[in-house]
Chain A
Amino acid sequence: MKNPLHPLAAIAAAAFLVSLAALPGDAHAGRQVQNNTRTSVNKNVNVNKNVNRNTNVNVRRDIDIDVDVDRDHHHPVATAAAVVTTAIVVGSVVNTLPPACTQVLVGNVVYQQCGGYWYQPQYVGSSVTYVVVNPPR
């Protein structure tokens, strides 16, 4: 075939792209946890309770954050879409990694390399978030 891309195939591919790109975002839209359900009677803030109440301020997190299977998924198409649509700035923080990342240890410090971008995981409370960083090496 001279023309490598049949018109129908192109449409199918486009639809596939759309479905892939839509899935990660739309499937989880609205499934964010707003509250922190208390798991102990006492807040351990004896000094000044009111000052520390802001530790309870809603850190909105995805309901499936930390399922930690995400990084094993390989969706190169979705990655490309994410790169195009999302401004990735060093210092910005995300709740979940883009797909197809590789874990890299530099010394004993862990990074995630996702395409051309590097993320450093951190605990915020007991949740894991990811900070965009400059390449560590």
Chain B
Amino acid sequence: MTPVEQSNKTARKRLGAALAAACVVAAIATGTSPALGQQPAAATAAQREAKAMDALAAMGKYLRSLKAFAVRADTVTDEVLTNGQKLQFAGTVDYLVQAPNGLRADVRSDRRQRVFIYDGKSVTLYAPRMQYYGTVPAPATIAEALQVAEQKYDLAVPLSDLFLWGTDKGGLEDIREAAFIGPAKIAGKACDHYAFRQDDVDWQLWIQQGRQPLPCKIVITTTAEPSQPQYAAVLTWNLAPKIDKTSFTFAPPKGAGRINIAPAVAAGKN
């Protein structure tokens, strides 16, 4: 190899390295920053299909027109262990609702049973197998009570969206992408399948076709978690439930004991 050839080779090497570095810089400049800056505005208009957003709004409006209803949710929940292994648990939730201030949710899974009762003044959480109950004061409507329970006490009622859609807490503005997927049969009923994306969750919703646009099924994928665990619920509706004076009052059974509900700050620290 002549000195000139040697020199050329070194120069090519240097050029190559410089080009590679330039590519990285260019990728960072064009690929990342501008795209991040532009994405929200572009995505919102183009990717929220009107048909899907309208269907969601119509369902919310219909839900809020119901004065009373009962709904059974057959649920499947993924739980992720600290070693990354994903387990699946089946369960049910039975809701009994009287607008605007009566809610009862019986939550059952293989691992846990809870009764959540709201009577317009307070929220009680009861663990029937351990016979523990805790009560905290709550505001005057279901939507507000759910918000206080979650904010102040980290008490989340599964599928609380059922009580928020159609209100100003429905969260439609948080949706980044919305799409109509197609018709589907859920438990024998004709429904339409929609898909939505927003921060931390991708979710799918099946809405009953016809004059009663009720949710047939919901699947929530927690995208904030690396293993993307899912919660799925198939819903069975009863629009003429039996409700009496005791439906939303909690009377501690014999032997049941009161316990505290720790404020959410403490929950975060644990």
Most buried by B among A41, A66, A103: A41
Chain B residues contacting A54 (CB-CB under 8 Å) are: 268
A39 to B111, CA, bound (A): 16
A15 to B245, CA, bound (A): 59
Q: Mark B252-266, 1 if CB is under 8 A from A, else 0.
A: 100111111110101
In the complex, the chain A residue whose C-beta lies closest to that of B83 is: A30
In the complex, the chain A residue whose C-beta lies closest to that of B157 is: A40
Q: Does A43 contact B (CB under 8 A)?
A: yes
Could you say which of A37, A64, A93, A123 contacts B259, with CB atoms under 8 Å apart?
A: A123
Count A-B pairs with CB separation below 8 Å: 166
* Segment of B16-24, B32-40, B128-136, B236-244 in the binding face: B128-136
In the assembled complex, the CB of A7 is this many whole angstroms from the nearest CB of chain B, namely 41
A58 to B20, CA, bound (A): 41
B82 touches A110 (CB 8 A): no
In the complex with contacts A37-B79, A44-B164, A68-B129 CB distance below 8 A: yes
In the complex with contacts A34-B81, A45-B150, A59-B267, A123-B231 CB distance below 8 A: no
Chain B residues contacting A30 (CB-CB under 8 Å) are: 81-83
Residues of chain A in range 69-88 having any CB-CB distance to chain B below 8 Å? none
Q: Mark A109-128, 1 if CB is under 8 A from B, else 0.
A: 11100000000111111101
A54 to B262, CA, bound (A): 15
In the complex with contacts A63-B111, A128-B132, A32-B81 CB distance below 8 A: yes
Q: Does B177 contact A (CB under 8 A)?
A: no
In the assembled complex, the CB of B80 is this many whole angstroms from the nearest CB of chain A, namely 4
Chain B residues contacting A64 (CB-CB under 8 Å) are: 111
In the complex with contacts A41-B203, A121-B130, A128-B132, A110-B259 CB distance below 8 A: yes
Q: Does A5 contact B (CB under 8 A)?
A: no
In the complex with contacts A37-B231, A40-B220, A41-B171, A125-B154 CB distance below 8 A: yes
Q: What is the total number of residues of chain A having a CB less than 8 Å from a CB of chain B?
A: 46
Q: Does A19 contact B (CB under 8 A)?
A: no
B261 touches A123 (CB 8 A): yes
A31 to B149, CA, bound (A): 28
B261 touches A35 (CB 8 A): no
In the assembled complex, the CB of A132 is this many whole angstroms from the nearest CB of chain B, namely 14
Chain A residues contacting B87 (CB-CB under 8 Å) are: 63
A37 touches B161 (CB 8 A): no
A72 to B260, CA, bound (A): 22
* Segment of B47-55, B184-192, B222-230 in the binding face: B222-230
Q: Does B121 contact A (CB under 8 A)?
A: no
Chain A residues contacting B83 (CB-CB under 8 Å) are: 30
Chain A residues contacting B260 (CB-CB under 8 Å) are: 120, 122-123
In the assembled complex, the CB of B233 is this many whole angstroms from the nearest CB of chain A, namely 8
A37 touches B80 (CB 8 A): yes
In the assembled complex, the CB of B154 is this many whole angstroms from the nearest CB of chain A, namely 4
Chain B residues contacting A68 (CB-CB under 8 Å) are: 127, 129-130
Known A40-B158, A42-B171, A124-B266; 4 more pairs at CB < 8 Å? A30-B81, A33-B82, A37-B220, A66-B111
* 27 chain-A/chain-B pairs, Cβ below 8 angstroms: A30-B82, A34-B80, A35-B229, A37-B80, A37-B220, A38-B222, A39-B220, A42-B170, A43-B150, A44-B164, A45-B147, A47-B151, A52-B264, A63-B79, A63-B111, A66-B111, A66-B127, A68-B129, A103-B257, A110-B259, A123-B260, A123-B261, A124-B154, A124-B266, A124-B267, A125-B264, A125-B267
